[in-house]
Structure formats: C-alpha cells, structure tokens
Amino acid sequence: MCLAVPAQLIECRGTNATADLHGNRVQISTLLLPNCKQGDWVLLHAGFAIQSLDEREAQETWAVVNDLRNAGAEP
Amino acid sequence: MIDFYDTKTSSVNQAAGQRISLAHGGGGQLTDELVASCVLPRLDNCVLSQLLDSAVFRGAERLALTIDSYVVKPLKFPGGDIGRLAICGTVNDLAVCGATPLAIALSLILTEGLERRVLEEVMDSLAAAALEARVSIVTGDTKVVGRGQGDGIYITTAGVGAAGNHKLHPDEVRPGDTLIVSGPIADHGMAVMLAREMPQVQSVLKSDVAPLNEMIERLLDRVPGVVFLRDPTRGGLSGVVADLANRTGLHITLEEQEIPIRPETWHAADMLGVDPLDVANEGKVLAVVRPDAAEAALAALRQDAHGKDARIIGQVNDERDGVCELHTKMGGRRVLQKPYGEQLPRIC
Amino acid sequence: MNVASAFETSRAAEEPLRRLRDAAATLGRPAKFMEVCGTHTMSAFRSGLHSLIPDNVTLLSGPGCPVCVTSQGDIDQLIELARRPGITLCTYGDMLRVMGSDGSLEQARTEGADVRVVYSSLDAVELAAADRGREVVFAAVGFETTTPASAAAVEQARQLGLENFSILASHKLIIPAMRALLESGDVRVDGFICPGHVAVIIGAAAFEPIVREYHKPCVIAGFEGPQIAAVLARLTELVSQGRAALENLYSQAVTEEGNLAAQTISDRVFTPADWHWRGLGLLKGSGLTLRPEYARYDARARFSLGTPQGREIPGCRCGEVITGRVTPIECKLFGAACTPVRALGPCMVSSEGTCQAWFKYKRLNKTGKARSVARD
C-alpha cells in the first residue's frame, strides 16, 4: 500500500505531468507537489508525485537499488 | 435455384461487411465466405485447402500432442497479439518436450460484432508466427457466440509434433544439475498487464512472445546433457521451478542476482505491486542441464536471437525436501513458491 | 539512471548486517522491533532479511497493512455498495479479494457488480466526469500516504461540479495506532521501524510523541532490504545504549515537516474521527471523515449506509496477528482452513498481510531446513 517509486518528470502541464520510469511513461498528478518542474526527480505513489528527490541522491539510493535489481540484467 | 443462390450471394456480400455476425459461425455459406476470405489466403497449404472434416498427413512413429487455449485480454499488446500467442505457445509446448512441430489444429470462437478488420489482423499475425515457426495449420473450426459472450476472440490450438529421442523429464533431474534461463523474465506478463490495467502508460515494454523450436532444436542437437525443459508461462519462473522441486522431491536453489530482468520490466512490476518471478513469459525457456554441459548449453542458446541473454541462474542440491529456495541479493534466503493464480488474470 | 553502479551486488547490505550483528551481540538480551507498514512486511521477507537477523532480534509485523486493519463492517459496506445496481465501485487492487461476511469485491464482480481497479483516485473522478449518469464510488482506503490522493479526488470532483461521485472513506492514521499498541500493554516492543512513505507525507517530527511519551526509539526506514537492515542495526544500537531517539534514515525522501501541500489538502477535506480497527477496537481520532462542506461526497450518507456492522470470522486471529500478539502459526486456521488460495482473513488475502508473508516466505528456518507447510 505504501508502494512508491522514483521517476523523472519529462513534461509538466499545469497539475499534470508525464513521468518516466525507466522507459515507462505515465501520466501523473502534481497536485500534491505544486512546485515541481520538468526534469525533477520525484517519488510517485498511486498516480501522484508526493516528494521531490535530489537527483544525485536519487541516483545513488536507487542506483544501489538498481544495482541490486539489475545485476541480473542483460550481460 | 439460381435466383436463390443469387439472392444468397448478394446477402453474403452484404453480410461480408464490417463485422462478424452469428451467421458466420453457422457452418453455412457465410462461414465458407469467412474462411475463404480471412483464413485460407493467410494459412493456405495443400492439407488445409482440402477443407475436409479431418486433416490427413504423414506423421512420425512417436508423436507429441498438446493443446492450449488463449483468452488474453487485450487482444493486442505491445510485441504481439492473441494470434501470435496461439501459435508460439503451442509450438513451444511441443519444443520443450523435444518434439518437432508438425501441424496445428486451430479453433476460433468469435463474438458477434467483432470487427472483421481485427480478425484479419490477428490472422495475419498468426500466419506470420506459423511461418516463423515453420509449422502448418492443417485444420480448423470457427464458431460465433452472441454479443456479450466471449471477448472478441478466443483461440484454441492443438499441436502435434514428431517426438525426439531426447530424454527430457523431471525424473532425469539429479543433484548437481544446473538451471539456465534463456533471457530476461516477466516481459510478456508485464506488457499485457500494463496494456490492460494502465493503458495510459506509454511503455517500451514488449511481450517476448516468440517461437523457440529452432533454438531448442539446436540446443538439443549440440548438447547431450540437457535433461529437462519447460517454458515459464503462467505462474512465471517461480511456478516452474517450484513445481520441479516439488515433483523431483529435490532442493533447488536460485540465485536472485543472476536472474536477468530488464529495468523497465522491474519498474512496471514495482508500479503494479507484482513480483516479476511470478509473471508469465512467452518466449523463454528454463533448461536443466548436467553441470559439465552448462557452458555448451549457454553457448548454444546464445547463438539464437531469442537466447542471446541466457544465464545460469541456479542449481539442484542434495537435500530431498522438494523446496525451491531463493538466495536473495542481500545474501539472505527465502522460499519460492508457485504463485496462487489470480494476480495476473487473462495473461495468455 | 546509471545501471552500472560502483557497488558490488550485496555490498550495500554487508555493512548494515555487520553492524546489526555487532549491536545484537553487545545487547546480549532479546529485542523486539515492530514495523508498522505492510510494504515493510513484504520487503523484509522478500529480501531474505528474516533469514539474516541475529537470533536475539525479532522483527514483528504490526498493524501496517491498511487492508488488514479495515474492520469487517467497513469491508461489508464496500461490498454491499458494489452489489447495488447502478453503482460503479472503483478501488485499488489490493482490496479486491478481501473477504467480507458474504464474499469479496472480486466475487461480486463475477456476479455482475461493476467493480473497477484504478491506479489513481483521479481515474475514478475521470470516470464519473465522463459519464454523469453513472454513480461512481471510490473506496478510499490507506494510511496517510494515500489520504491526500483521496482528498485531491474529492476536491477535483467539487471543481468539476460532479453530482455522481462519492467516496467510502476508511482511511487510518498511524500514530494513534502506535499509541494504542503501546497503551494496551499486551505487546512488548523495544522500538519501531517507522513507515518511510507515511513519513514523506506527515514528516519525521510526527513520530516524536511516541519517542517522548513512551521512550521507544523510532527510526524511519526506506523500503529496500539493505535500508531496513540499516534501520534494525540502528534500533539495536539505540536500545543497547538505552537511548530513546527519533532518527531518520530515509532523508532522501523524508523531511522534518513532511509534504505540507499534501497535509493541507488532506486537512481541508478530512477531519479525524474515532474508528474501529480490526484487532485494536475503537481508537480515538484514528480515522478520517469528510468535513461537513464535503459531506455530499460521503458515500455512507449518500447511500444511507448505517454504522458498519459485521461478524468477525470465527477462529480468525488476524486482529492479534497484526498487533504482534500472536504469530500466524498460533492461529488454528493458518495453513489449514486459511491459505492464500482460500483466504479467510485479510492478513492472508492481502499481499502485504503478515499471514500471507509467513505462508509464502517463512518456510525455512535459520539453519536452512524446511518444515512442513502448515505448521512451521
């Protein structure tokens, strides 16, 4: 129920935005994060951006995650 | 008589309009017309075109027979459609038993109101898959059910193949054997699930649906130490491996960090709260091979476009407890079980 | 995202696990920590963390699965609404298979009820906007992470002037639940692993009262295995030092004050109310109702649903399981009448439920020996 994933905002239009999750593009709402802008990294939960993430921290935190997850990806 | 036929012919032409009607399944002229226009031009071969009640053709001394029904929703998804699925699924079921696919019987159940164009596109896809798999559809049947029944198209394919000489069976599996998967998992199930549950997502995800008979033939020809093959469709990788552990009574260990998965597939699974290990694949094979045959098996698989990312993912252990265990990336352990089913309905 | 990172595969977990082992050895005596988030329950099991924790450290699952803590009465109301002709019920996926007194939403769907799974609460509003003749009800379930989404949906419905949209609210608040657990005296807990994504919304500081009033260390955690391991290590260290402190190990996403915009939207639309929790009874100020100015979006009022009633399932000990009072195997139904295939209680149905997690993942003990399915 607390599933939230990091994603980058590709495009912002008013209270809506397009987020990129490693190639998957989702339409989400920015109603809960009114100051976010294109290019920002955010935490997504149930179709809403709920927190902005520092890009470097996001990459490190989730790079570890990605490292854990993707050590098994294409050789 | 001629007048009657003329009248019939013109109503055939009318009815042969944009949508499938109940009459198309009646076995009468409209059915003939549907078969003649939609099916035959795409699948034509000398056996099918006889259009007799049964197909009669040369077989083999020992046969393999399989049947599967396809009820996937939506009918089309990134990377494929129900037509492609219907051929590849059945061809792969034959191939993993070491059989060479010979012929397929095709059953279509259509819903009244289905757009003809959709049927034609599915048939195009089905025909292309059959060509790729080098298998012929030799007989078939078409029925139509009323509006609101079915979901457009259900397909059932029965496949017959020439059984090979390879002994591929759970009984052959021994402690020390190596488990290999032919490539990244969960692409099919996630592509279908995304298309269905979140159609607003534009994804790079594509189903991996593909015929694997050529790849498997090469593997079996070159590598004598292959003892068991399975395609991890519904139930995913965890389903087939847990099954194998259960059937053999042996302990099987998988290494989580070795299991290949594309980042976009993982993210899609994350979004929808499913475990990729439980998700269907339609273009992958799990192979169990003798340890000294593992490298040769990898090389044989990697020669094929559908196996270029093949990896060793685990092994069979000594203990006799029928348990499948995952060594997690964190260095921990947990049990891997066959999933309970309903997570991803209508996935194939 | 840079896939080829500098870390070795399991290196991220090595240090936290070493620190945990060291801290546990220093502590000597047993310590019990509770996580109060269903996603933590699931993550801890899936990553194999349970097989790596030192023997004297126990990780308990608390009332953190919103599906699991939703009372039978609330669930029954949801299913009853779904069954009424002319109503389209929209829900997050995890509510679909929860059993009420008489079937589940999924069963209702196979019997013809219009039940739709949505990814976002706004999808339900969109549905209502697209077809003004259709009555759309959204099942608003979840903790504080999800409450703002429901609030945003209600506000959007108001902006669009929708007459055909309402929500069946059964949101829960985590701090009152933690208090209730500690007040009850039944559960001996040495510290809490605090839910990272709830904290994103309510802020780290929201957990201060627990630390201050009950002298229990609280550490806020992210959701990956190594992150949970790091939090367990920290908690063990704090207990070892006799310190009750609040620490935030998910500062990448959690700030002191949380997401103020989200809090504001929630506060505008909802107000705290006493609510009945499975296993905890009636907790003061632990749920949310719509404020009077939004009353027309309240499905309970709109469809004249009374106070939630509902029989508990005989023999079901979900309430005790989710409060850490018993482990799943102490419930006679576990693995026998109640399995993931035929689940009786929500703890077994929900993919974040403790019973399902135990059933699926916990069949190996620490020496790696498997035991029988039903009685672990």
C277 lies in some domain: yes
Alpha-carbon distance of B279 to C82, in angstroms, equals 29
CB half-sphere exposure, B246, CA atoms < 13 A: 12
Residues of C within 8 A of A28 (CB-CB) are 120
**3-class SS letters over C139-205:** EEEECCCCHHHHHHHHHHHHHCCCCCEEEEEEEECHHHHHHHHHHHCCCCCCEEEEEHHHHHHHCHH
Smallest CA-to-CA distance from C273 within C147, C127, C132 is with C147
Residues of C within 8 A of B323 (CB-CB) are 363-364, 370
Alpha-carbon distance of C130 to C164, in angstroms, equals 11
C85 and C178, same structural domain? yes
The reported pLDDT for the residue numbered B17 is 65
The answer to whether residue B281 scores a pLDDT higher than 90 is yes
Count H helices, E strands: chain A? 1, 5
Class of domain B170-335: alpha beta
Of residues B258 and B339, the one with the higher pLDDT is: B258
Flag if C51 and B340 touch (Cβ within 8 Å).
no
C300 and C190, same structural domain? yes
Alpha-carbon distance of C27 to C32, in angstroms, equals 12
- Following DSSP, what letter does each residue of C4-71 receive, concatenated? S-SS-TTHHHHHHHHHHHHHHHHH-S-EEEEE--HHHHHHHHHTTGGGTS-TTEEEEE-S--HHHHB-
Distance from CA of A37 to the nearest CA of C (A): 15
Highest mean pLDDT among A63-72, B160-169, C326-335: B160-169
A70 vs C: CB within 8 A: yes
Q: Model confidence at B9, in pLDDT bands (50, 70, 90)?
A: very low
C117 vs B: CB within 8 A: yes
Q: Name the helix (H) or strand (E) containing C109.
A: helix C105-110
Q: What is the CA radius of gyration of chain A?
A: 13
Are the C-beta atoms of residues C201 and C258 closer than 8 Å to each other? Answer: yes
Distance from CA of A53 to the nearest CA of B (A): 17
Distance from CA of B285 to the nearest CA of C (A): 24
For an interface test with A, the pick among B200, B267, B330 (most A C-beta atoms closer than 10 Å) comes out as: B267
Burial of C47 (0-12, 13-18, 19+ CB in 10 A): buried
A33 vs C: CB within 8 A: yes
C10 lies in some domain: no
Query: Where do we find the tokens 């002709």?
Result: C85
The reported pLDDT for the residue numbered B87 is 98
Average pLDDT of span B38-63: 88
What proportion of chain B, given as a percentage, has pLDDT over 90?
Answer: 70
Three-class SS state of A35: coil
Could you give the number of structural domains in chain C?
2
B267 vs A: CB within 8 A: yes
CATH code, B19-162: 3.30.1330.10
pLDDT tens for B62-118 read: 999 999 999 998 999 999 999 999 999 999 999 999 999 999 999 999 999 999 999
Alpha-carbon distance of C99 to C111, in angstroms, equals 15
Closest residue, chain B, to C352 (C-alpha): B273
Residues 6+ apart with CB under 8 A from C269: C150, C151, C154, C155, C290, C291, C294
Residues 49-68 of C with CB under 8 A from A: 65-67
Residues 6+ apart with CB under 8 A from B289: B177, B178, B180, B223, B225, B226, B227, B297
- The residue segments making up the domain with residue C263 are 29-315
Distance from CA of B67 to the nearest CA of C (A): 26
Query: Where do we find the tokens 């059953």?
Result: B107
The answer to whether residue A55 scores a pLDDT higher than 90 is no
Tell me yes or no: is domain A5-70 CATH 1.10.10.10: no
Question: What letters, b where the CB count within 10 A reaches 16 and e where it falls short, cover C4-23?
Answer: ebebebbebbeebbebbbeb
Alpha-carbon distance of C171 to C263, in angstroms, equals 14
C325 and C185, same structural domain? no
Chains that touch B (3 or more CB pairs under 8 A): A, C
Are the C-beta atoms of residues A22 and C59 closer than 8 Å to each other? Answer: no
A17 vs C: CB within 8 A: no
For β-strands C218-221 and C191-195, DSSP reports them as parallel
A63 vs B: CB within 8 A: no
Domain residue spans in chain A?
A: 5-70
Alpha-carbon distance of B13 to B11, in angstroms, equals 5
pTM for the model stands at 0.86
CB half-sphere exposure, B276, CA atoms < 13 A: 24
C333 and C234, same structural domain? no
Flag if B323 and C119 touch (Cβ within 8 Å).
no
B to C CB pairs, distance under 8 Å = 79
C184 and C298, same structural domain? yes
Residues of C within 8 A of B333 (CB-CB) are 48, 51, 364, 368
pLDDT tens for C140-194 read: 988 999 999 999 999 999 999 999 999 999 999 999 989 988 888 777 889 999 9
The reported pLDDT for the residue numbered B206 is 95
The reported pLDDT for the residue numbered A63 is 58
Smallest CA-to-CA distance from B339 within B250, B249, B275, B267 is with B275
C277 and C139, same structural domain? yes
The reported pLDDT for the residue numbered C356 is 84
- The dihedrals phi and psi of A5, each to the nearest 5 degrees, come to -125, 150
C203 and C100, same structural domain? yes
Flag if C149 and A3 touch (Cβ within 8 Å).
no
Q: Model confidence at A75, in pLDDT bands (50, 70, 90)?
A: very low
Residues of B within 8 A of C45 (CB-CB) are 334
CATH number of residue C297's parent domain: 3.40.50.11740
Two tokens, residue C306? 């009374």
What average pLDDT does chain A have?
Answer: 81
Distance of CA B343 to the CA centre of its chain: 19
Of residues C5 and B210, the one with the higher pLDDT is: B210
Alpha-carbon distance of A6 to C222, in angstroms, equals 12
For β-strands B136-145 and B100-111, DSSP reports them as parallel
Are the C-beta atoms of residues B233 and B280 closer than 8 Å to each other? Answer: yes
Flag if C146 and A1 touch (Cβ within 8 Å).
yes
Alpha-carbon distance of B281 to B285, in angstroms, equals 9
Q: What is the dihedral of CA B148, B153, B156, B162, to 10 degrees?
A: 180
The answer to whether residue A48 scores a pLDDT higher than 90 is yes
What average pLDDT does chain B have?
Answer: 90
Angle between helices A55-70 and C11-27 (to 10 degrees): 90
Three-class SS state of C294: helix
C373 lies in some domain: no
ω before C292 within 30° of 0 (cis)? no
What proportion of chain A, given as a percentage, has pLDDT over 90?
Answer: 45
Q: Name the helix (H) or strand (E) containing B110.
A: strand B100-111
Are the C-beta atoms of residues B293 and A48 closer than 8 Å to each other? Answer: no
Alpha-carbon distance of A75 to C63, in angstroms, equals 42
Flag if A22 and B194 touch (Cβ within 8 Å).
no
The per-residue pLDDT string of chain C (376 residues; one tens digit each, 9 = 90 and over) reads 222 232 344 677 889 999 999 999 999 999 999 998 888 888 888 889 989 999 999 888 888 887 778 887 888 899 999 999 999 999 887 777 777 778 888 889 888 899 988 888 999 999 999 999 999 999 998 899 999 999 999 999 999 999 999 999 999 999 998 998 888 877 788 999 999 999 999 999 999 999 999 999 999 999 888 899 999 999 999 999 999 999 999 999 999 999 999 999 999 999 999 988 877 788 899 999 999 999 999 999 999 987 776 666 788 888 788 777 888 888 999 988 888 877 788 788 777 788 888 887 765 444 444 443 333 2
Are the C-beta atoms of residues B185 and B232 closer than 8 Å to each other? Answer: yes
Alpha-carbon distance of A30 to A18, in angstroms, equals 10
Domain residue spans in chain B?
A: 19-162, 170-335
CB half-sphere exposure, C113, CA atoms < 13 A: 24
For β-strands C31-35 and C191-195, DSSP reports them as parallel
Question: Side chain identity at B146, as an amino acid letter?
Answer: G
Average pLDDT of span B309-320: 96
- Computed from CA positions of residues B4, B9, B12, B17, in that sequence, does the dihedral angle turn out positive or negative? negative
Smallest CA-to-CA distance from B18 within B108, B147, B119, B145 is with B119
C368 lies in some domain: no
Residues 6+ apart with CB under 8 A from B315: B176, B177, B178, B179, B252, B253, B291
C310 and C325, same structural domain? no
Two tokens, residue A5? 């994933």
Q: What is the ipTM of this complex?
A: 0.87
The answer to whether residue B14 scores a pLDDT higher than 60 is no
The reported pLDDT for the residue numbered B135 is 96
